[in-house]
Amino acid sequence: MPRTRPFVQVDVFATTPYSGNPVAVVLDGADLSDEQMQRLARWTNLSETTFILPPTVPEADYRLRIFTPGGELPFAGHPTLGSARAWLDGGGAPRHAGHLVQECAAGLVTVRRSQDTLSFAAPPRVRTGELDDDHLKRIVAAFGITRERVVAHQWVDNGPGWAVLRLATAEEVLALEPDLTLIPDAMVGAIGPWPEGSEYAFELRTFAPGIGVPEDPACGSMNAAVGQWLTSTGAAPSAYRVSQGARVGRAARIEVGADRDGTVWVSGATVVCMRGTVTL
């Protein structure tokens, strides 16, 4: 029998109200089937819809399942922060002082709490290294640019399957008009630097036609994996700020920082903007 379940929508990485990337969170996902979860994710039509469940391991505070309109993800960044905010605001009590632990298909993810800010620790990348020539050619063609404009390229896959191209400037990233019909299964991004002294260090855009999301307004998982790549190679400082979402009418701000041990943290604002119930 369907029943009423608490439901919230959280704006993540927002600089002003409703300028970030929303995530829909069902606070009680117990006994829902895969099909029910996927049906709701298609209906909300957001980048991700999540379901909070009891943990299956003692180290975790809760278990999270993450769905896009096209399928389930093992990990995603902005849903991690948004779901943590929803769980805390719903009365969740972390087992650990100063942080909580999320269980998901990619493993255990630590989320730090510092005043009103939440940060997640970037999970390990499952694939790294430069893209193969055929894959790179397909992306370059879809982006409508020449190979010479690609400064660097890399697999930055921490679960969803991301690949990224680094371009020379943020303006080049914003100018992209990708033809996603040429890469219908791709999970790909582009990043480029703003001039020194700007409010932001980089502009990032994320395209995920492979999971039914043409362009993501703000992508935590890609920022996490790109942060691991850039900070480990010296292409970015140990702490920097990213802007994302301008081409889809958003103004997201993502903070990326690396600890001395190399752990990369991704931070951003999280605001509950809708509260209610859903019948499932």
Q: Is the dihedral of CA 142, 148, 151, 156 positive or negative?
A: positive
Any alpha helices (H) in 116-234, and if so which ranges? 133-143, 170-175, 220-233
Q: How many CA atoms lie within 13 A of 260 on its CB side?
A: 0
Q: What distance in Å separates the CA atoms of residue 116 and residue 113, rounded to the nearest whole number? A: 7
Among residues 48, 103, 203, 215, the one annotated as catalytic is 48
In angstroms, the CA 39 to CA 25 distance is: 14
Is residue 48 flagged as an active site residue? yes
Listed in order, strand segments (DSSP E) in 69-186 are: 71-73, 99-104, 107-114, 117-121, 150-155, 163-167
Pairwise CA distance, residues 226 & 241, whole Å: 12
Cα angle 18, 163, 49; round to 5? 35
Per-residue CA distances from 44 to 19, 22, 105, 181 (Å): 18, 11, 22, 24
Sign of CA dihedral 205, 41, 76, 120: positive
In total, the chain counts a number of residues equal to: 280
Tokens 């997201």 correspond to 252
Catalytic residues: 48
